[in-house]
């Protein structure tokens, strides 16, 4: 596991964003862990998170001209990542969408910079892939080119369709259907390696449950 990935998992655990126990997912699965990016909810945490996004994006080698954040969580993620990129010497525009179009002021559904060139979508996770699909449609409709997606955590688990497990994860479906790279700051595999190397017995105790979940639902 790269140092950046390990640091991100540790940061998420310390921030209470990554928690362990028993949680029911959108798919109805009983998960031993829960990742809630909405809890990166103060300036210091958001700033650190944005640094992880920015460095991961730069390290990925994906070429891009601007950022796009899907409403709602993507709005702060893309904005903060743009600030972090500028601090690293990569000043790029960003935009985001509103759920309902305005007919006054700047109007429309897109706020921020004009969508043009190669656009990276910044989001927290990909569960069903709905916000990514909507973002791709918005970007293409503006005449720009979606070139990749950057997320915080790849759960690496099978997607569901009509209550049935699919062969691929939602991330893999996005990559295959749209031909776009999805770059995650960390993955479930990174989380397992983090728990494996824990000196804190309270955290290490969750490794068997997370491993069993990966073995049952993983891709």
Based on its alpha-carbon atoms, the radius of gyration of the chain, rounded to whole angstroms, reads 18
88 is catalytic: no
The owner of tokens 């656009």 is 119
Q: Which of 102, 114, 140, 177 is catalytic?
A: 102
With beta carbons less than 8 A apart as the criterion, state whether 217 and 28 touch: no
102 is catalytic: yes
With beta carbons less than 8 A apart as the criterion, state whether 130 and 161 touch: no
Q: Which of 73, 88, 99, 104 is catalytic?
A: 104
Q: Which long-range contacts (CB under 8 A, 24 or more apart) does 191-194 make?
A: 191/9, 191/18, 191/33, 191/153, 193/1, 193/6, 194/1, 194/6, 194/9, 194/10, 194/13
What letter does residue 218 receive in the DSSP assignment? B
Cite the active site residues: 102, 104
């Amino acid at each position: 596991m790269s140092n950046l990935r390990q640091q991100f998992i540790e940061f998420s655990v310390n921030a209470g964003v990554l928690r362990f126990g028993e949680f029911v997912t959108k798919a109805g699965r009983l998960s031993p862990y829960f990742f809630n990016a909405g809890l990166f909810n103060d300036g210091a945490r958001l700033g650190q998170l944005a640094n992880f996004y920015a460095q991961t994006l730069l390290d990925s080698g994906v070429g891009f001209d601007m950022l796009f954040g899907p409403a709602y969580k993507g709005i702060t993620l893309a904005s903060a990542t743009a600030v972090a990129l500028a601090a690293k010497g990569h000043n790029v525009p960003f935009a985001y969408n509103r759920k309902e179009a305005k007919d006054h002021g700047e109007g429309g559904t897109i706020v921020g910079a004009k969508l043009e060139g190669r656009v990276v979508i910044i989001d927290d996770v990909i569960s069903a892939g709905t916000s990514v699909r909507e973002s791709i449609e918005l970007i293409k409709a503006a005449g720009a080119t979606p070139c990749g997606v950057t997320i915080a955590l790849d759960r690496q688990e099978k997607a569901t369709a009509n209550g049935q497990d699919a062969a691929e994860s939602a991330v893999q479906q996005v990559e295959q259907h749209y031909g776009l790279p999805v770059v995650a700051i960390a993955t479930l595999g990174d989380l397992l390696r983090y728990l494996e190397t824990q000196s804190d017995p309270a955290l290490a105790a969750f490794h068997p449950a997370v491993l069993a979940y990966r073995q049952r639902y993983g891709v």
